[in-house]
């Protein structure tokens, strides 16, 4: 793994290169570094304001990272008019470079530290949508139940685990914690996390998947009651029906499907 000295050296190299590139008219740190909360394991999030054609600058910087910093791989995240390119360097050093049009260079949240350039007024990032999360929760509960009935156990496990992730997101939103990528999970109340632990699937079997799904439906219903109580009147009884079906854990396992099914 990389050392703090390795990370600092790479950051210095990135900033020095940005200051000599005529197409780069601004730079800012985001993430934990921007607010002084980084630790030994933090990666580097750097936003670069680009004047002119974004693709040309992006391609030139990509070639430079492979040549000068020995990048091993990269991939992209969509970000509106900007492009986030994530690089893997030796020793597991991750660099997240956002290439933003000059007009879009500005803070969209509290984690921002301008290094040089002129900030522009931009809209903040939208939080995850509660209604979409509710929809995903009932959708995943239904499909987990169906997958168990079809003996598609690994797919059932996928839906149950996804439900757990969405419950964590919904609870984080309700309590004002970071909601994306479970970044606020460690801030949630201990009693809530203890109940969420019961949703973990411990083995791939009909009885265990039924148990885990029932536990997940229970915490889902509890969180819906706290986050969107107006919807529980409609969705709660239907989730309870699925939970009642999962209570029949003594039934024989369904036949394993063939690979071609």
- Please give the pLDDT value at position 254: 40
Q: What is the pLDDT of residues 241-256, one digit of tens each?
A: 888 776 554 443 344 4
54 and 103 in one domain?
yes
Cα 83 from Cα 67, distance rounded (Å): 21
Q: Which domain holds residue 191?
A: 130-246
59 and 11 in one domain?
yes
pTM reported for the whole predicted model: 0.77
Cα 172 from Cα 105, distance rounded (Å): 28
187 and 86 in one domain?
no
Q: Which residues contact 251 (CB under 8 A, 6 or more apart)?
A: 206
Does any domain span residue 125? no
Domain of residue 14, CATH code: 3.30.460.10
- Please give the pLDDT value at position 33: 86
What is the mean pLDDT of the segment spanning 125-149? Answer: 91
> How many structural domains is the chain composed of?
2
Assess contact for 78 and 71: CB atoms under 8 A: no
How many CB atoms within 10 Å of residue 251? 10
179 and 109 in one domain?
no
More confident residue, 155 or 240: 155
Does any domain span residue 121? no
User: Among the three residues 116, 147, 181, which one is the final residue of a domain in this structure?
Assistant: 116
Select from 231, 3, 17, 237 the least CA-distant residue to 130: 231
Residue 260 pLDDT > 60, yes or no?
A: no
241 and 136 in one domain?
yes
Residue 182 pLDDT > 90, yes or no?
A: no
Phi, psi of 82 (to 5 degrees): -90, 170
User: Among the three residues 62, 84, 116, which one is the final residue of a domain in this structure?
Assistant: 116
Q: Which two tokens stand for residue 184?
A: 């606020």
Q: What is the pLDDT of residues 113-125, one digit of tens each?
A: 999 999 998 887 7
Does any domain span residue 252? no
Chain centre distance of CA 191: 23
Does any domain span residue 257? no
What is the mean pLDDT of the segment spanning 88-100? Answer: 96
Domain of residue 141, CATH code: 1.20.120.330
Does any domain span residue 123? no
- Please give the pLDDT value at position 80: 85
Assess contact for 142 and 154: CB atoms under 8 A: no
Does any domain span residue 255? no
147 and 89 in one domain?
no
- Partnered with residue 95 across adjacent β-strands are 44, 87
Does any domain span residue 201? yes
Q: What is the pLDDT of residues 8-37, one digit of tens each?
A: 999 999 999 999 999 999 999 998 888 888
Q: What is the mean pLDDT of the chain?
A: 89
Confidence class for position 83, pLDDT limits 50, 70, 90? very high
182 and 104 in one domain?
no
What is the mean pLDDT of the segment spanning 229-235? Answer: 86
22 exposure class (CB count in 10 Å sphere: 0-12, 13-18, 19+): exposed
More confident residue, 255 or 175: 175
Cα 144 from Cα 163, distance rounded (Å): 9
Does any domain span residue 23? yes
Q: What is the pLDDT of residues 49-63, one digit of tens each?
A: 999 999 999 999 999
163 and 96 in one domain?
no
Q: What is the DSSP letter of 177?
A: S
Q: What is the DSSP letter of 127?
A: P
Cα 183 from Cα 162, distance rounded (Å): 16
């Amino acid at each position: 793994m990389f050392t703090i000295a390795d990370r600092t050296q790479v950051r210095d190299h990135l900033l020095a290169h940005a200051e000599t590139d005529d197409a780069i008219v601004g730079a800012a740190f985001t993430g934990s570094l921007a607010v002084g909360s980084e630790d030994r394991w933090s990666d580097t999030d750097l936003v670069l304001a680009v004047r002119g054609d974004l693709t040309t600058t992006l391609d030139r910087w990509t070639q430079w990272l492979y040549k000068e910093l020995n990048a091993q791989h990269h991939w992209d995240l969509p970000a509106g008019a900007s492009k986030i390119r994530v690089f893997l360097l030796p020793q597991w050093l991750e660099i997240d470079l956002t290439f933003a049009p000059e007009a879009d260079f500005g803070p969209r949240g509290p984690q921002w530290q301008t290094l040089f350039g002129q900030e522009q007024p931009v809209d903040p990032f939208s939080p995850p949508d509660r209604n979409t999360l509710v929809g995903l929760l009932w959708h995943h509960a239904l499909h987990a139940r169906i997958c168990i009935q079809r003996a598609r156990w690994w797919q059932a496990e996928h839906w149950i685990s996804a439900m757990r992730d969405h419950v964590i997101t919904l609870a984080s939103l309700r309590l004002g914690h970071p909601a994306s990528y479970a970044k606020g999970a460690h801030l949630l109340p201990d009693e809530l996390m203890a109940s969420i632990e019961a949703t973990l699937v411990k083995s791939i079997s009909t009885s265990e998947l039924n148990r885990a799904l029932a536990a997940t439906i229970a915490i889902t219903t509890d969180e819906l009651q706290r986050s969107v109580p107006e919807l529980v009147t409609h969705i709660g009884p239907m989730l309870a029906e699925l939970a009642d079906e999962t209570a029949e854990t003594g039934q024989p396992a369904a036949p394993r499907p063939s690979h071609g099914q």
